[in-house]
Structure 1
Amino acid sequence: MSARTAQAKINFQKMKTILTNKHISIETRRRALQCYIEPVLMYGCEAWTISKQFQNMLEATEMWFLRRMLRIPWTAKKTNERGLKEANKRRSLVRTIRKLQANFLGHVMRRGELEHLVTTGKFEGKRSRGRQREKIMDGLATWLGQGKVSDTLTAIKDRDLWRDMSANAYKQGT
Structure 2
Amino acid sequence: MKTVLTNKNISIRTRRRALECYIEPILMYGCEAWTISKQTQKKLEATEMWFLRRMLRISWTAKKTNDTVLEEAHTTRLLINKIRKRQATFFGHVMRREKLENLVTTGMLEGKRSRGKQREKLIEGLADWLKAGKSLEATKDRKKWRTMIANAVKQGT
TM-score range, shorter chain: over 0.9
Where do 1:121-136 residues align within 5 Å?
121-136=107-122
* TM-fit CA distance, 1:123: 1.4
The answer to whether 1:24 aligns with 2:33 is no
Quick one: distance in 1 between partners of 2:106 and 2:145? 17
Residue 161 of structure 1 corresponds to 144
TM superposition shift of 1:125: 2.2
Structure 1 position 116, deviation (Å): 0.3
| Aligned equivalents of 2:29, 2:111: Cα separation in 1 | 32
Give the structure-1-normalised TM-score: 0.88
The one-letter amino acid paired with 1:68 is R
Shift in Å, 1:147: 1.9
In structure 2, the residue matched to 1:78 is: 64
Q: Deviation per CA, 1:86-139: give whole Å up to 9, x if none.
A: 111110111100000011110111011000000001111222222110010000
Q: What residue in structure 1 maps to residue 81 of structure 2? A: 95
> 87-96 vs 120-129, which deviates more?
120-129
Structure ranking higher on relative contact order (CA contacts 8 Å, 6+ apart): 2
Q: How well do the aligned residues superpose, as a CA RMSD in angstroms? A: 0.8
- How many residues align? The count is 157
Q: Which residue of 2 aligns with 1:64?
A: 50
Q: Output the CA distance in 1 between the equivalents of 2:10 and 2:113.
A: 55
TM-score, scaled relative to structure 2: 0.97
Correspondent of 2:21 among 35, 51, 67? 35
SS in 1 for 2:44: helix
Query: Where does structure 1 lack aligned partners over 5 or more consecutive residues?
Result: 1-14
The equivalent position to 1:118 in structure 2, one of 104, 114, 125, is 104
Matched residues in 2 for 1:43 and 1:69: separation? 22
Matched residues in 1 for 2:104 and 2:27: separation? 25
Displacement after TM superposition at 1:146 (Å): 1.3
Percent sequence identity over matched residues? 72
The answer to whether residue 156 in structure 2 is matched with residue 173 in structure 1 is yes
Q: Distance in 2 between matches of 1:24 and 1:126?
A: 57
